[in-house]
Amino acid sequence: MEMNIWLFLVLSLGVSGLVRVAPLGSERQRILASLLVLLAFMCWAPFVLDNFRLIQMTRIATLGLALLGLNILTGYNGQVSLGHGAFVLMGAYTVAVLLDRNEQLNLIDATPWPFWATIFVAGFLAAAAGLVIGVPALRLSGPYLAIATLAVMISMPIIVRKYGTFTGGSQGLGFSRPPPPPFLEDLLRREQWLYFLCLLALVVMTFLAWNLLRGQFGRSLQAVRDSEVAAAAMGIHVARVKVLAFVISAFYAGVAGALLALISGIVNPETVDIVQSINYLAGIVIGGLASIMGSLIGAAAIVFIPSDAASELAKLPFLDANMLRRAPGAIQGAVVIVVMLLMPYGVAGAAHRLLRLRPERALARWREAPALARGALQRASWAWDLRPRSAGQGPGQNRPQGEVVSHGEGGKATDPEGDLTKGGQ
Amino acid sequence: MEGLLAGLPGAMPVFLAPAPWEDWSLFGEQIVLGLLTGALYALVALAIVLIYRSTDIINFAQSEMAMFGTFAMWSIWLSGVPLFSNPWMLLVLAGLFGLGMGAVVERVVIRPVEGKPVLTIVVVTLGLFLLLNSVATWIWAQGELPKVFPSPLSVLESIKVGFATIPEHRLLIFAVGAAAMVLLGLLFNYTKLGLAMRATAQNPLAAQLMGINVGNMLTVGWALSGALGGIAGALIAPVVTLHPAFMLPVILYAFSAAVLGGLNSVPGAVVGGFIIGVGENLLATYTPRAIFGPEMSLPLALMLLVVILLVRPTGLLGERTVRKV
């Protein structure tokens, strides 16, 4: 049985969304239930999607981790990094070198590491690199930090190519992707197994991130982002928080890189290029800054826009399919700019506002509409001088007393903009 | 730059060069060549500084705007209209195209996010980067033929000036770059428009109270910056193969140059450009190729950039700004 991925996504998101807004249980229970439903759907995914879509979903899971890390740094802590691809690349190369070590300079001709151990090594190595970059980054802010991290990202592939004895140069390193463990061999194909591996990593690390960000540390991150001076005055160790944000976010990126390497079985300098690294930032902006869900939405956007948006748009009569397929970034760039102009909090922010929308208030606004319309008509009729009146009488004197009062009240009570915007923030 | 200019004879030393004290003329030649390339970096750095001074924005799409303009000029050149087949005319057109493009970008894309957080603006210029890069790939990067951009002077022939042998095209880069800088200096220092622009950069509110249309000045700043970028693109295009990423190394050297000189200093950008140009040439010539060599000059320039940002964030000539809380 195979299912169209869009049908699948609409189904899973729709059902979990319904559970989320269902009038049952407490808010907490509903959130938990909807997440469990979503997880159940995601576990069902490898059995109903075809291979291409399954690999895409696996990529979304790994990219989701990278974007989550970047969001911790950029969205929550306000440090703009264009160089997160460098950490991802580092994680990927760590895995490749550790799994492929027989060919590496004859360093140690022992058996390769077990693949699960390399994921942790990749994460911690990237975290160490994050420390090395995070400390000098303390001195930089805003666009300066963006330039510096861009510089790191640009240099990385050049350095990898230059010192190719260790990294395989332009060709990169290849290794065999890990097969499913013996007790799952009969149940899962290799792609399905890798999907579940990435899903597990995503669930565990998303939970950790959520746990970290909802508490004191998460609040410190955001306080530092909003005003360093105010945060310091509240007793937050600004430097420590900023460096920790870099380290944690690099750890996530390193793990993401490791998984990316494991699912593709080859690592070269083009695994993560500069455009990809910029895409990460674009992804969290599209998905929503300072939002865990936003990171995952952004990852989906990064994967699906190049593969699908181009061919879907090409069905429009005035666009040429081949031309559009060559330029997925055009759509991506346009989406980024439009999202930035229209939805500054990204898709997740827009969804959040939608969730907070109170239908009864919106209705109350409409209930006043007839009265408003009547008032407007009346004023228009005065303005056009349609009513008969004696000489010397201004339009004001003609106004029925009661209506003025009710009109004034209605005008105030039905100022829904303020209410809605307050409720939605 | 050595990587970019790989097609030029004599530009790429195959062996380790003799030390300066053994061959002074080679050393001098490398300095001169570096200065000539530096003019290009100075031009692009100036484009970056021009925008940063007036709006506090670093335009990450600068390179792609220049690239886009250069490709457009290439199409115009191919169109076969006699007037446009003159390379000099093309250079002028590149500047005009950049001028228009800068103004349009400021009005359409940047104006709506003015005053928003840094991240928003950075992301918008990056979105523009992706968009332009991709549209150029879409329109122009389909054929496999190497795309050649015309130069008013010969790319291959060199002239001998004293001890140095200089390719003619590099002289052109220097001459046009220097002319653009001088014109810009005159504009800023001796015209009413320049005065208004400086006032806007220094204190937008006060400038507005003095009757200056600040919005228009910002547009003019972006337009001038676009023109500088466009000219730089048309200058470098004849010596590289035209492809959608050809401006990327140039803009990175220019970033280094701008930061080295101080992001809010116009003379700083020029000085920084020349220093980066000379430093790059010397590095490519006098370091052992096994460790560094020409292809490492970009990472080293970027490392220099990071080091400057850490040690002296205002650059050599930049002014220190006081931030209010």
- The complex's ipTM works out to 0.80
Greatest Cα pair distance, chain B, in angstroms, is 63
- Residue B14: partners with Cβ closer than 8 Å, 6 or more residues away: none
Closest-CA distance, A135 to chain B, in angstroms, reads: 10
Same domain, A117 and A237: yes
Judge: A140–B313 Cβ closer than 8 Å, yes or no: yes
A267 has which bridge partners? A173
Say if B324 falls within a structural domain.
no
User: Which residue carries 């160089």 as its tokens?
Assistant: A83
- What is the separation, in whole angstroms, between the first and last Cα of chain B? 42
Within a 10 A sphere around the Cβ of B82, how many other Cβ atoms? 7
Q: Are B304 and B256 in contact (CB under 8 A)?
A: yes
Say if A294 falls within a structural domain.
yes
Say if A388 falls within a structural domain.
no
Same domain, A17 and A161: no
pLDDT tens sequence across A27-51? 888 889 999 999 999 998 888 888 8
Q: Which of A314, A337, A354 is the last residue of a domain?
A: A354
Q: Touching check for B303 and chain A: CB below 8 Å? A: yes
Same domain, A194 and A222: yes
Tell me how far CA of residue A161 lies from CA of A166, A399, B73, B167, B295, in angstroms: 10, 83, 34, 30, 10
List the domain range (segments joined by +) for residue A13: 1-49
Same domain, A415 and A326: no
Q: Which of A246, A295, A194, A215 is nearest to A86 (CA)?
A: A246
Counted domains in chain A? 3
Give chain A positions within 8 Å (CB) of B113: 340-341
Say if B91 falls within a structural domain.
yes
DSSP class of residue B163 equals T
Judge: A333–B130 Cβ closer than 8 Å, yes or no: yes
Interface test with B, best of A340, A343, A345 (most B CBs within 10 A): A340
Same domain, A259 and A240: yes
DSSP class of residue A308 equals I
Hey, CA dihedral for A284, A288, A291, A292, is it positive or negative?
A: negative
Closest-CA distance, A40 to chain B, in angstroms, reads: 35
pLDDT in tens, chain B (325 residues): 444 444 444 444 444 566 666 677 778 888 888 888 889 999 999 999 888 887 778 888 999 999 999 988 888 888 877 777 788 888 889 999 999 999 999 998 888 888 777 778 888 888 888 888 888 887 877 666 667 777 777 666 777 777 777 788 888 888 888 898 889 889 888 999 989 988 888 888 898 898 898 889 989 999 999 999 999 998 888 887 788 888 888 888 898 898 888 888 888 889 999 999 888 888 877 776 666 666 777 888 888 888 887 787 777 777 766 655 5
Q: Using CB atoms, pick whichever of B130, B142, B325 lies closest to residue A275.
A: B130
Say if B280 falls within a structural domain.
no
Say if A387 falls within a structural domain.
no
Say if B40 falls within a structural domain.
yes
Counted domains in chain B? 1
Same domain, A45 and A147: no
Tell me how far CA of residue B54 lies from CA of B59, B138, B198, in angstroms: 12, 33, 8
pTM: 0.80
Same domain, A239 and A269: yes
Between B16 and A4, the more confident residue is A4
Same domain, A152 and A292: yes
Element (H, E) at B66: helix B62-78
Burial of A177 (0-12, 13-18, 19+ CB in 10 A): middle
Say if A44 falls within a structural domain.
yes
Task: Tell me the DSSP string of A364-400.
Answer: HHHHTHHHHHHHHHHHHHHHTT-S---TT--GGGGS-
Interface of B with A in 232-261 (CB under 8 A): 248, 252, 255, 259
Same domain, A250 and A321: yes
Say if B215 falls within a structural domain.
yes
List the domain range (segments joined by +) for residue B56: 25-255
Over 50: is that where the pLDDT of A405 sits?
Answer: no
pLDDT at residue B66, as a whole number: 92
Same domain, A161 and A271: yes
Q: Using CB atoms, pick whichever of A151, A161, A341 lies closest to residue B112.
A: A341
How far apart are the C-alpha atoms of B145 and B134, rounded to whole Å? 19
Tell me how far CA of residue A36 lies from CA of A29, A62, A136, in angstroms: 10, 20, 41
Q: Which of A293, A321, A354 is the last residue of a domain?
A: A354
Q: Touching check for B307 and chain A: CB below 8 Å? A: no
Q: Which of B136, B134, B120 is nearest to B233 (CA)?
A: B136
B114 has which bridge partners? none
Same domain, A139 and A212: yes
Same domain, A18 and A70: no
Give exposure, A19-53, as e/b (b: 16+ Cβ within 10 Å).
Answer: bbeeeeeeeeebeebbbebbeebbeebbebbeeeb
